[in-house]
Structure 1
Amino acid sequence: MIKVGILGTGGMGKTHARQYAKIPEVSLIFYDRDPQRAAEFQQLTGGESAPDADRVIRECDVLDVCLPTHLHLEYASLGLRAGKPVFCEKPMCRTTAECAELVELSEKTGTPLMPAQVVRYFPEFRTAHRLVQDGKVGLPAAIRTRRGGRFPKGSADWFSDFALSGGVILDLMIHDLDWIRWTFGQVERVFCQSLTFTGIKEKDYALATLTLASGALAHVEATWADPGGFRVTFEVCGSDGMIEFDSRLYPTLRTTTEAGSVSESPLAPTDDPYYREIREFLDAVASGSPPPVSGLDGLRAVALAEAAIESARTGKAVTPGRG
């Protein structure tokens, strides 16, 4: 059996727990400082409720950090120092400097660290990544992504505090920033503007333009102010074709080349991306292989988000850190 320790039993803690329940060899131990939430989580998962985080870290084989963003460094560090492989919800940390601490600690202790950049596992994003890597649409020239929904009110106590969450750019836009870097390569420059539609004190809409080393341009939009509910779209325009995705359409993905247009919804609906990332992490730990998404990947995603935040603040283009 593999004992997985979960710290944080909010939305992502529950999401991860549902995936672990699909793996027969996994048992759960968890901690939440709120007794009522801990009791609800125990009823939901059948896991063992620990009296404190120290016991979770001491007794688990693998640590899953699902706490608010500003707590990631503290508790992921405790896990790594204890020699426990760490699966950390995105963003990996609140700042690039904190990410660098985690990466260094992971390397120093020889303990695996994987940020949960789950969009890499969503079938349409994974298929588009493969099509681009295989050259099916030629040389990418323009990329557009949009991700948005209503403000996550269940976490309003910390989500709406920029110092704790990093706002809509670090928490939401980071999904697409990571996917763009993974799929299209190094980003040379970031220019971003942001504004507020709703009553929260921080910006709830951002639009960034990325200049890639390849010469391609990416327009990345993120919002917590969409009254129509959650929606994700992307377009990839290449020299030989186009890939389009809209989460509200079915089939969701369309690829157009000179040969014609193909619409599809890749992979089975039951192939849950949250399950796939967790399964691949556990498999990597078991085999001694590097995690499929590295700590350095997590750092570079946060560096892109920080560049966008700085650009929105100053009104100037920013060169992102490389990590």
Structure 2
Amino acid sequence: MINILVLGAGTMGRTHIRAYQRMSNVKVVGIVDVNKPTVEGVAKELYFNRFEDALESLGEIHVVDICLPTYLHKEFAIKAATSKAHIICEKPLASTLEDAGEIISICEENKVKLFVGHVVRFFSEYSQAKKLVDQKLFGDIKYVRTFRNSSFPIAWNDWYSNYQYSGGLLLDLLIHDIDFLCWCFGEVESVNANNIRKMEYKDVQHISVELNFKNGVNAQVAGSWSENKFRTNFEIQGEAGYLVFDSTKEQPLNLQVKRGTSMKLIANQEEIKNIESPYFTQLNHYVDCIINNHTPIMTPQEAYQSMKIAFAAIKSFEIGDTVYLEEKYH
């Protein structure tokens, strides 16, 4: 049995707890949250205001799941790692590259596993797109477009409004698509970004980012905090066909590949339907990696690299010019 301590019982913390409650090999042994909220299925005596109190009271903790605001990740990752607990940490890994590097190093030094919650890799449409890209059904891919939109996130202490804490739209929301594209197409060579609304606008932000990959793929990543309804889409264009996803459609995923002079639909949503929550799939995968010492789909180094690209994009719209990426994290 894997004993898990969850830090933070907001929206994401509750989502993780519900997933763990469905697993036969996992037990949520405690929740740390300053507000001590009520979570269904968790006894009141398992709530703690302080991480140290939980450690003292609970005995053996195998995993600490960090679902706290981004700027608190480093502090509690260090505490968890030095207590020899494996770590599952919500994305982004940290609020600065320096902090992300320190988290990775402290976990390596203490020989504990670190998993980062980039859940988009576990959405069926995105994982299927990755498989289709790897199968080279499109021929040479030259252009990709992604879009992600939601309302401005409301959370404890309004911490999303402080961009030093949250990283704003790029680090918090668009990093999903940055990670997905890097998963599919590898290393980014250069970044060019346009921030349509300046950072001082608290509740609305629109950003467009151009990513140029070393393999020749050009990607346009756009998104905003501007609408009440969450929606996301992508389009992958190749010489031999294209793949389109639109979360607002009844059949969201559409793949067409050339056969002679015509285009033929060869995949749709019904063929890849995944009845499981991607959060359950993700966390179940990480638990399996802990138990069986498997390599995770998402590595800490990849999480670091996605952060690096997001910060390069922030720098790009600040200076109004292209930013070139240096070599990967080692």
SS of the residue corresponding to residue 17 of structure 2 reads helix
After TM superposition, the score normalised by the length of structure 2 is: 0.91
Q: Does 1:9 align with 2:14?
A: no
Q: 2:325 — aligned with what?
A: 320
1:320 CA drift (Å)? 2.8
Q: 2:180 — aligned with what?
A: 179
Query: Which deviates more from structure 2 when the two are superposed, residues 104-113 or residues 181-190?
Result: 104-113
Q: 2:265 — aligned with what?
A: 261
1:197 CA drift (Å)? 8.6
SS of the residue corresponding to residue 304 of structure 2 reads helix
Contact 2:148/2:222 (<8 A) preserved: yes
Q: Give the direction of change, closer, same or farther, for the CA distance of 1:188–1:237 in structure 2 (3 Å limit).
A: same
Query: Which deviates more from structure 2 when the two are superposed, residues 25-34 or residues 7-16?
Result: 25-34
Contact 1:112/1:291 (<8 A) preserved: no
The whole-number CA distance in structure 2 between the counterparts of 1:78 and 1:54 is 9
The whole-number CA distance in structure 1 between the counterparts of 2:167 and 2:55 is 26
Q: Does 1:73 align with 2:66?
A: no
Match of 2:287 among 282, 289, 292: 282
Q: Give the direction of change, closer, same or farther, for the CA distance of 1:23–1:209 in structure 2 (3 Å limit).
A: same
Q: Does 1:162 align with 2:163?
A: yes
Aligned residue type for 2:194: Q
Q: 1:223 — aligned with what?
A: 224
Match of 2:312 among 297, 303, 307: 307
The whole-number CA distance in structure 2 between the counterparts of 1:50 and 1:119 is 30
1:44 CA drift (Å)? 5.4
Aligned residue type for 2:278: P
Q: Give the direction of change, closer, same or farther, for the CA distance of 1:287–1:240 in structure 2 (3 Å limit).
A: same
Query: Which deviates more from structure 2 when the two are superposed, residues 19-28 or residues 257-266?
Result: 257-266
Aligned residue type for 2:85: K
The whole-number CA distance in structure 1 between the counterparts of 2:156 and 2:247 is 24
State the number of aligned residues: 318
Q: Does 1:293 align with 2:298?
A: yes
SS of the residue corresponding to residue 39 of structure 1 reads coil
Alignment of 1:30-109 (within 5 A): 30-34=31-35, 38-41=36-39, 43=40, 45-46=42-43, 48-57=46-55, 59=59, 60-109=61-110
Q: 1:119 — aligned with what?
A: 120
Q: Give the direction of change, closer, same or farther, for the CA distance of 1:316–1:116 in structure 2 (3 Å limit).
A: same
Question: Once the two structures are superposed, what CA deviation does each residue of 1:118-156 show, in whole Å capped at 9, x if it has no partner?
Answer: 000010010000000111111110000000011112457
The whole-number CA distance in structure 2 between the counterparts of 1:152 and 1:198 is 15
Contact 2:152/2:204 (<8 A) preserved: no
Q: 2:243 — aligned with what?
A: 243
Q: 1:192 — aligned with what?
A: 193
Aligned residue type for 1:53: F
Contact 1:210/1:218 (<8 A) preserved: yes
Q: 1:21 — aligned with what?
A: 21
Q: Give the direction of change, closer, same or farther, for the CA distance of 1:232–1:155 in structure 2 (3 Å limit).
A: farther
SS of the residue corresponding to residue 40 of structure 1 reads coil
After TM superposition, the score normalised by the length of structure 1 is: 0.93
Query: Which deviates more from structure 2 when the two are superposed, residues 129-138 or residues 261-270?
Result: 261-270
Question: Once the two structures are superposed, what CA deviation does each residue of 1:101-130 show, in whole Å capped at 9, x if it has no partner?
Answer: 111122222110011010000100100000
1:222 CA drift (Å)? 1.4
Question: Once the two structures are superposed, what CA deviation does each residue of 1:20-54 show, in whole Å capped at 9, x if it has no partner?
Answer: 111123221111011xxx2323x454472124212
Aligned residue type for 1:71: L
Question: Once the two structures are superposed, what CA deviation does each residue of 1:56-78 show, in whole Å capped at 9, x if it has no partner?
Answer: 35642111000000000110111
Q: Does 1:144 align with 2:142?
A: no
Contact 1:197/1:225 (<8 A) preserved: no
Q: Give the direction of change, closer, same or farther, for the CA distance of 1:291–1:109 in structure 2 (3 Å limit).
A: farther
Query: Which deviates more from structure 2 when the two are superposed, residues 289-298 or residues 178-187?
Result: 289-298
The percent of aligned pairs where both chains have the same amino acid is 29
1:169 CA drift (Å)? 0.4
Query: Which deviates more from structure 2 when the two are superposed, residues 192-201 or residues 106-115?
Result: 192-201
Structure 2 gaps, min length 5: none
1:261 CA drift (Å)? 1.3
Aligned residue type for 1:19: A
The whole-number CA distance in structure 2 between the counterparts of 1:155 and 1:247 is 28
Q: 2:136 — aligned with what?
A: 135
